[in-house]
Amino acid sequence: MTHPDRSGSLHALRLIAPLSLALACTAKIDAGGPAPDSPGSGATTASVGGSGAVGQGGSTAGGGAGGSGATASGGTGAGTTGGTGGTGLTGSGGTGLTGSGGAASSGIPLQGTPAYHRFVRLTHEQWEASVRDLLELPALPGLSPSFSPDPPNGTFSNNERSLYVSSDLRTDYQRAAETLAAQVAGDAAALARVTDGVNDAATFIRTFGRRVFRRPLTPAEEQKYQAVFDSGTTFYASGNAFTDGVEMLIESMLQSANFLYRMELGTDGAPLGGYEMASKLSFFLRDTTPDDALLDAAASGELDTASGVLARATTMLDGPTGQAVLGRYHAELFGLRRYDQIDKNRTAFPSYSQTLNAEFQQADQMFFDRIFASGQGLRTILTSPLAFVSSATASYYGVTQSGTALTEVTLGPERPGYLTRVGFLALNATLSDPDPIHRGVDIVNRLMCADLMPPPEEIPPLPAIMAGQTNRQRVEAFTGVGTCGEGCHAGIINPLGFAFENFDAVGKLRTIDNNQPIDTTGLVETATGMQPFTGAPELTAILAAEPSVHGCYVKHITEYTLARDVATGDRTLVDGLEGFSMNDNASVKAMVLAIIGQPSFLTRVGGAP
């Protein structure tokens, strides 16, 4: 419900501005500001919307965060990462990452423009899960799909530059808070769950406030929220003062900057405090607010050292949510949601239906989950023969499978890795033909981090295939040597796409095109020069051994883990991870833990204090 008569009280106190104005225009009901989880013991920091407040037991992250580094199997030091057979990833003072073998860096470009925001808004997924857990709802509330969408920034949805509160989103948050507060207050069972059966306002404010703000309330905040709680009877008058107070408190706190933003206040370079680290780990590795156990760990000092953080992160990654969070990394990196757009000519492909698109996506998601669960890395992503098929998709792979459930199978040598899976191939194809241009572009963008110059003008469609002409010959005639597309297409894009020309528009193997033999040969430029290949198996093997491909992959995983662009200041970290990935086939989990053990994750980096 909307209460215009509350201007000057509750609704004038909500978060009302985007991130750039957060310090001036945040929820004034939190006039004491977020209780600073500051470096040192109880240092004073600037508050949000008011004067400074004294921190409660601020903590220091272990005298030189990341000093011991993360360690793969066979190494020593703080934390364990699931690297396979290597000497491990070690850090000297949190820097100097090296994988076994000490390969030189490919020098992958790091041209991001991180803002290093100290206020990073929750993603819509994090908001949904947090509200579910805070209010102990049986399922996600399902309100965020109607929220104003975030603008695209960077590769991943958790990038800081997209996460601010627009005026439209502020209204969305207000409406959602009112809806949820009324829902809880109007259901006796829901109310009992949220209050833990307690009927004491002060106890509820203290307990619920700690959960919502992800740290203890200051005495000043407790006093202010008591006044908010007491005002509930003025606005609701249900006849039950405690219920009215709970509704008012929920509605207010769910609009607070302390809930909507993950905050890291304090001096640049200072270690994050325990409560800040609890929030950072939980939102990254669980996609939700920290539970009471993690907040208790923060209070006990467990998260005050790099080794403590790594131990907790390892446990969280081993849990069911760890796989889901890293599953989102691969889904966003490779754009699996684009599969919704797939469509095919029903005459040419009568077995295809758009209902299969969701199965293509689920199969590839299961493939990446399998990579994570088995402790494998990029090399396996590019070369693994494993796939997930059902009776509906088995024929596309030339295998036999009964039942509608997706089942793990082992494919032949002609089907190495993700790039030969039906989803990728069908997405990068036209209604009737393979599309080597888009297959090549996708590989360049997502696996090589190469900046392709946009075409100088609108690109006309490919001409129709002439009699006796193959799809490859048509593309070469239009964009190859001697054409305006010679630079990017003939030299970079086309050869990569031609390696998959023996897969048709739905990803089935083929040997003939327009009564002509398929040509999948080409050259790809690597760190050691131009290398020839005869098809997808040889090309994927080359890519799996190429330093720049590993550099691109770890650049992306660093961006995802740090939730910001990666820039030149991250060079040492990215170069070390590149060697770890390339020489040890380091698992996704191992690389995430390696990043978590570094100052770029453990400390406040950049931005205004």
Q: What is the pLDDT of residues 228-241, one digit of tens each?
A: 999 999 999 889 99
Same domain, 252 and 339: no
Q: Using the structure block, give the residue that is written with the tokens 């990803």.
A: 507
Instruction: Note whether residue 597 is domain-resident.
Output: no
Q: What is the dihedral of CA 208, 209, 210, 213, to 10 degrees?
A: 130
Same domain, 249 and 371: no
HEC assignment per residue over 30-71: HCCCCCCCCCCCCCEECCCCCCCEECCCCCCCCCCCCCCCCC
What local confidence, expressed as pLDDT, does residue 7 receive? 32
Q: Is the CB of residue 545 less than 8 Å from the CB of residue 383?
A: no
DSSP 480: S
Same domain, 238 and 153: yes
Q: Is the CB of residue 452 less than 8 Å from the CB of residue 493?
A: yes
What local confidence, expressed as pLDDT, does residue 51 receive? 27
Q: Is the CB of residue 494 less than 8 Å from the CB of residue 480?
A: yes
Same domain, 257 and 384: no
Backbone angles phi, psi at 316, to 5 degrees: -65, -40
Instruction: Note whether residue 555 is domain-resident.
Output: no
Instruction: Classify each residue of 492-501 as buried b or exposed e, where b means 16 or more C-beta atoms within 10 Å of its C-beta.
Output: bbbbbbbbbb
What local confidence, expressed as pLDDT, does residue 237 receive? 84
Token output for 163: 């996460």
Instruction: Note whether residue 354 is domain-resident.
Output: yes
Q: Using the structure block, give the residue that is written with the tokens 């010679």.
A: 486
What local confidence, expressed as pLDDT, does residue 54 receive? 24
Same domain, 345 and 240: no
Same domain, 242 and 353: no
DSSP code string of 178-212 = HHHHHHHHT-HHHHHHHHTT---HHHHHHHHHHHH
Domain stops at, among 239, 263, 287:
263
| Nearest alpha carbon to residue 582 among 590, 76, 317, 419 | 590
Same domain, 221 and 340: no
Instruction: Note whether residue 253 is domain-resident.
Output: yes
DSSP code string of 345-381 = -TTT-TT--TTHHHHHHHHHHHHHHHHHHTT--HHHH
Residue span of the structural domain in which 6 resides:
1-31+119-263
Q: Output the pTM of the full model.
A: 0.83
Instruction: Note whether residue 40 is domain-resident.
Output: no
Q: How far is CA 576 from CA 75, 333, 545, in A?
A: 16, 21, 16
Same domain, 377 and 500: yes
The pLDDT tens digits of the residues spanning 267-278 come to 889 999 999 999
DSSP 150: P
Q: How far is CA 100 from CA 80, 97, 378, in A?
A: 16, 10, 16
Instruction: Note whether residue 566 is domain-resident.
Output: no
Domain tally for the chain?
A: 2
Token output for 238: 């249900």
Helix (H, G, I), strand (E, B) or coil at 84: coil
Backbone angles phi, psi at 429, to 5 degrees: -155, 160
Same domain, 235 and 362: no
Instruction: Note whether residue 308 is domain-resident.
Output: no
Q: Is the CB of residue 575 less than 8 Å from the CB of residue 560?
A: no
Indicate if the alpha-carbon torsion angle 361, 366, 368, 369 is positive or negative.
positive
Ramachandran category for residue 375: left, alpha or beta (phi over 0 → left; psi -120 to 50 → alpha)? left
d(CA 550, CA 172): 41
Same domain, 358 and 241: no
Same domain, 382 and 237: no
Q: How far is CA 592 from CA 71, 188, 239, in A?
A: 12, 43, 52
d(CA 493, CA 489): 5
Same domain, 147 and 3: yes
d(CA 314, CA 589): 8
Indicate the angle between helix axes 320-333 and 306-318, nearest 10 degrees. 80
Instruction: Note whether residue 84 is domain-resident.
Output: no
Which residue ranges of the chain lie beneath pLDDT 70?
1-104, 453-459, 480-491, 607-609
| Nearest alpha carbon to residue 383 among 419, 349, 425, 407 | 419
CA angle at 198 for the pair 196 and 199, rounded to the nearest 5°: 145
Q: Is the CB of residue 335 less than 8 Å from the CB of residue 556?
A: no
d(CA 540, CA 500): 10
Domain stops at, among 263, 288, 309:
263
